[in-house]
Amino acid sequence: MMAVAALAQTPAAFRIAANDLKADVSFLASDALEGRATPSKGLDIAAEFIASQFRRAGLEPAGDDEYFQTAAFLSVKPNMDGLELTLDVGGKKIAVDPASMAFNPQVAARLDDVPVLREGLSLTSSAIAIRIASQAPRGMPGRATLRDASTPAPTAPAAVVWDAAVREALAAAPGAEVKVAARIPAPAVEPVKLHNVAAILRGSDAALQDTYLVLTAHYDHLGIRPNGEGDRIYNGANDDASGTASLIEIARALASLPEKPKRSIVFIALFGEELGEIGSLYYVRHPLFPLAKTIADINLEQLGRTDGSEGPKAGQFNLTGFSYTTLAATFEKAAEEAGVRAVNDQPSGDAYFARSDNARFADAGVPSTTASVTYMFPDYHAVGDEWPKLDYANMAHVDGALALAAFRLADSLDAPRWNAGNPNTARYMKAR
């Protein structure tokens, strides 16, 4: 008879049901959660759901409030009442159209013809920074932004200006002195509570249980489109209800094993990835477990769609930064045994390494990667990213491979390492 420990090392121990994944995704990506914007009531409901599933699996809470790591943020909403910005370009004054500028951060200031240094499309002084753009920045100018309440408040305003009259005046006088006059009111600031959802499966080895493998996925998305006809909810089924559901079901599979891996495994559903990975950034600034004892972060993104923009993607998954660490070998072996493939999709894998939550762990020196089935797919960041479009059978096979790889990483005496021979890893090795 095969020993219990040996059985846990085989794909048969990590069978994840497609219908369980479908149930999770269909709730997280339902219209009822209104696109899970950060912050929103829908996001809070999603957090409660994830906590309930960790509780159901019997995982130990890992937050400061049961399963929640509470993050104090400030919602900062621009104040346009009385806002004025005037540029003097070689004696020609241009009052910037308020509809063609945005501030981030907006800091109360009164400037009277302050000279600015002109470098390309940037105008800077100790009192303000202005970037000249050809179009409005991504997102909605005037929308509230979020700031970690534990970080120092900004002391100088920064603006993006896409007013055509300003661009034309600067182009017509490339060597002219530029001065800025401004009346900038203070923004409206309100406190906001956000939550990472965290649980832990304690390791079985007394010497290694205080070292940690972290599995992450972001549970937020883009919320509701503010105007337009028809469907306006960004359901975010593949991005990233699929990763969140995978986190839940992989956690359940690992927790059900009769024998636990040597190291502890931490499962974290992160807020705010769509706003610049602010949930993972908060975590690495306020880690629940020491980063020096965190052996790796495995991030889960976009695991449900197989209709990739570059063609069908069934039976495989990608790893970002495939050659950045020693992680890939473990995933390749587990994938082969589970009947799927772990592929190195370059150059996309390197390009996307810095575009998800794994990057915040990497910046802190923790070896990391993001596992996904597709990098780009129809309906990416569109209202059509809905739960019926996911391939749950394929997702279950991929998640089984990921769970097996996670077990082996946590059960190994050897911790993953950065690849010193890859020049792209130098900054991350230095951070370690």
* Cα gap 168→163, rounded to integer Å: 9
The residues facing 160 across adjacent strands are 102, 131
* Cα gap 209→211, rounded to integer Å: 5
What integer is the mean pLDDT of 288-317?
97
pLDDT of residue 1: 37
What integer is the mean pLDDT of 177-194?
96
Instruction: Report whether pLDDT(95) > 60.
Output: yes
Report the predicted TM-score, pTM, of the whole model to 2 decimal places. 0.92
pLDDT of residue 2: 43
Instruction: Report whether pLDDT(90) > 70.
Output: yes
The residues facing 363 across adjacent strands are none
Fold of 4-75+191-431: Aminopeptidase (3.40.630)
Instruction: Report whether pLDDT(357) > 50.
Output: yes
pLDDT of residue 140: 55
Position 7 confidence tier, pLDDT thresholds 50, 70, 90: low
* Cα gap 322→340, rounded to integer Å: 16
CA-angle at 273, arms to 307 and 190, nearest 5°: 145
What integer is the mean pLDDT of 352-374?
97
Among 60-69, 70-79, 134-143, the least confident range: 134-143
Count of C-beta atoms within a 10 Å radius of residue 136? 14
pLDDT of residue 34: 98
Count of C-beta atoms within a 10 Å radius of residue 125? 16
Domain boundaries of the chain, sorted by first residue = 4-75+191-431, 79-186
